[in-house]
Amino acid sequence: MRWCDLDLAAGTWKIHRSFEQVGRELKIRPCKNAASRRVINLGPALVAHLKEHKAAQATRLLAQGRRVKLEDLVFDDGAGNAVSSNTVSANWGKALNRLDCTPRVKFHSLRHLHASLAIAAGVDVLSLSRRLGHADVKTTIDIYGHLIPSTDIGAANAVDAMLAGGGRASPPPSA
């Protein structure tokens, strides 16, 4: 991500490109499909962390004789350059070692962790699908459906209430 992709005042991230490691070079590519191009909201804690990170990056780059620009990468190698996916994975492994973290979670698994936590928090599958950039909600259900709790009793009660109440139902209980 680049700083121009973030709107820290609004707490949003505009995702419209991806980075791909090709040999030793990092290529910038447009997202795979229209659903992949999206704007997602960021939580207040993450926004605060990104503001602190930007200030630290600005101080570091200023010491090197340059200012942070909107086109600059949010996460760089310390000198403003892109970081290879191999380096990210290696640094992630080192961080897990320092924290004595088990089980060993791969960096990409953080995406799955995010989705799992969202489901556990009751985020609906359509919103999650859009957040993940899936082209079809079926993809989200196929991958994460086993984590979605059954609300069948809520559905039964809602239909029962509709029939008994002449078309007015109270909202189903949350999972």
pLDDT digits (tens, 9 = 90+) for 14-39: 999 988 888 878 888 888 888 889 99
Does one domain contain both 19 and 59? yes
Does one domain contain both 95 and 61? yes
Q: What residues contact 123, with CB distance under 8 A and at least 6 apart?
A: 131
Which pLDDT band, with edges at 50, 70 and 90, does 172 fall under?
A: low
**Alpha-carbon dihedral 5, 88, 45, 74, rounded to 10 degrees:** -30
Does one domain contain both 5 and 87? yes
Q: What residues contact 96, with CB distance under 8 A and at least 6 apart?
A: 104, 105
Q: Which structural domain range is residue 161 located in? A: 108-175
Q: What is the pLDDT of residues 121-130, one digit of tens each?
A: 999 999 999 9
Confidence check: pLDDT of 138 > 90 = yes
Report the DSSP pairing between strands 17-22 and 6-7. unpaired
Which residues pair with residue 44 across a beta bridge? none
Does one domain contain both 97 and 138? no
Maximum alpha-carbon separation in the chain: 73
